[in-house]
Amino acid sequence: MRRSIIAANWKLNASRSMVDTFMPAVDAQASASGNTDIVICPPYPYLDLVGQKVQASNLHIGGQTMSLEKEGAFTGEVSADMLRDVGCRYVILGHSEQRRYHADSDISIGTKMVTALRAGLTPIVCIGESLQQRKEDKAESTIMRQLGALLALGRWVDLSDLVIAYEPIWAIGTGETASPEQAQAMHAYIRAELTKSRAQLADTVRVLYGGSVNPDNAAKLFAQTDIDGGLIGGASLQADSFNQIITAV
């Protein structure tokens, strides 16, 4: 049985006082939710501070993205080894905001995935379609293209620890959420595509839903057969709402 994950993507939000308030409450909830992996992905300056406050064995920290490079003259970049060095177990890759603002491509994201896995990190790779692509009935072909690049580039590495986050772009930060039925249909499609590539991946790869998940809709989303948890944005900035989502899974 696949182990559930609830991951918090704080994006460009954090402060020392926020960490001091947030972490004890979430750590306590994580301890009470031992069958679920909880991941906190703060901005880079707060990774070490968040990590220092982790007590629960199922509570982990992760980066919001990473460089393809290992070291060198790459100002502003952070490597996989650096993330590991400060205690990260996870890293988010391919978020639509990275694709939009930093020109992350399917190829660069797949290459980063391989780099992360080889460094001992678990990549949470985001895929998803725009509203226009959905309206033009191109949602599945978009997902197939994004997923296909991952599977092609990951041919020579063990992908059993890979985590995929289906995040329809039209539902990120908009308040709009895919219905449980819409989300399940796409998750089932993703798992079917995994089966075509390597049969065992359908059973081992965890697929999360992201896109305006909140305490009110989390339980219905997580009740779907192929949804293994969530990548949470705005609702992960307050301990109370994030803990309710952990409870829902």
Query: Annotated catalytic sites, by residue?
Result: 95, 167
| DSSP β-bridge partners for residue 62 | 90
Contact 50, 42 (CB under 8 A): yes
| Residue 233 CB contacts under 8 Å (≥ 6 apart), including other chains | 9, 11, 172, 173, 210, 212, 213
| Residue 141 CB contacts under 8 Å (≥ 6 apart), including other chains | none
Q: Based on the number of CB atoms within 10 Å of its own CB, is 53 exposed (0-12), middle (13-18) or buried (19 or more)?
A: middle
CA 220, chain centre distance (Å)? 19
Helix (H, G, I), strand (E, B) or coil at 204: helix
